Amino acid sequence: MCRGVFMKLRMKPEDFIVEEIVDFNKISGDRCYLYKLTKRNIECLKAFSYISKKFKIPLRDIGYCGLKDRHALTTQYISIPKKYGKLSLDEPNLKLELVGESKFLLLGDLEGNRFTITVRGLKKDDIPKIKENLKYLEFGAPNYFDSQRFGSVFDKKFIAKEVIKGNYEEAVKILLTKYKKSEKKIIKDLKRFIAKNWGDWDKVWKYIKENNIKARLYVNMVKELKKSNDYKKALSYVDDRLKKIFVAAYQSYLWNECIKELLNKYIPEEDRVYYEYECGTFMFYKKMDIEVFDTLKDKKFPTIAPDIEYGGDEKKIIEEILKREGITMEDLNNIGGLGRFIYNERKILSVPKNLKIGEFEEDELNKGKYKITLSYELEKGSYATIIIKRAFLGVKTKKRKR
């Protein structure tokens, strides 16, 4: 298992810069004005909501290609129908600049993202190890879904998996009692109270009323449990956006496990490095044979969906992973009201383009430590943090609070 000293990410927004890459020919049109949106340390949806309220534009009329990190300095494009006129915004952490005309932007219209990431808090003794890692960074890393995908996972338990196995009470318990440190105090207090008084829904309902809790999801679920004690029915109050997140989290984890299994065929044991994350472990390679790289660099592996017939090695790998999970392909149809598993194909490797590696410098924010800046481009859907994990194998990340 990967062990080492701490490195520090995102000590300030400028340490994590994201610039959206679009093909202007593909998004050309004359229905909308096209804007460049620059935000600093602001969640994407909150930025859209602010623009919507300030200029009296319905949220549905703001088009965008993708969501960007909150704890970062990000630039992306949004489209707004011309009927709202030409807009401009110049505030300390939010800027909106008119750049031209376009069609109405949709999720997925981007080509990729350019990242400029500064890693801090490095010890001098770790620099030789990091330099060795960086020599092989042009071979990329497994294209795993990273931690950002698994915010709904606690203690390695997936809400979607519990539903598939018919454990509705456990699924509801995760929703009503598990929390991130970043959640509001009133919600954390509520969840702690529910955990302590699990099953006593009259008591929980009284607590909700006495503390004037308005969070619709929790109010409706507890109200249903007080009435019927039906955990499956309580889950029906989860909104569609959250349902998709729960399903995507489990499907993404299964894909990650499939890629680990596939890479075992190509990577010798001595070149494998394991890295802990919320759902288990990633397997990275220290280096990769050029012939193997040429075989895998453009190859894709499918997500698992119960309505697809798989064959060959794909079928063997998928069956092995599902067996370890204690479920069958047919069981995936038991996802019920949460939605469905959608078929997609994803590249096995994430290979950075236009990679630039800076020099090690003294870290002005951490006395006696060093920093280095990396910049690179990735295709849409690939995680910059996976490349960072690969580049700094053997160096632990000091995580921000969840």
Just list the catalytic residues: 69
Q: Which amino acid is at 99?
A: V
- Distance of alpha carbon 110 from alpha carbon 116, whole angstroms: 18
Q: Under DSSP, is residue 277 helix (H, G, I), strand (E, B) or coil? A: strand
Q: Which helix (H) or strand (E) holds 374?
A: strand 370-379
Q: Do residues 218 and 176 touch, judged by C-beta distance below 8 A? A: yes
- Distance of alpha carbon 135 from alpha carbon 140, whole angstroms: 11
- Cβ neighbors of 390 (< 8 A, separation 6 or more) are 133, 137, 140, 141, 284
Q: Which amino acid is at 284?
A: F
Q: What are the E-state strand segments in 92-245?
A: 94-102, 112-122, 141-142
Strands 370-379 and 112-122: antiparallel
- Distance of alpha carbon 357 from alpha carbon 375, whole angstroms: 7
Cβ neighbours of 294 (radius 10 Å): 11
Q: Do residues 115 and 377 touch, judged by C-beta distance below 8 A? A: yes
Distance spanning both ends of the chain, measured CA to CA? 23
CA nearest 152: which of 248, 221, 9? 248
Q: Under DSSP, is residue 217 helix (H, G, I), strand (E, B) or coil? A: helix
The residue assigned the tokens 């110049």 is 90
- Cβ neighbors of 254 (< 8 A, separation 6 or more) are 303, 304, 321, 322, 325
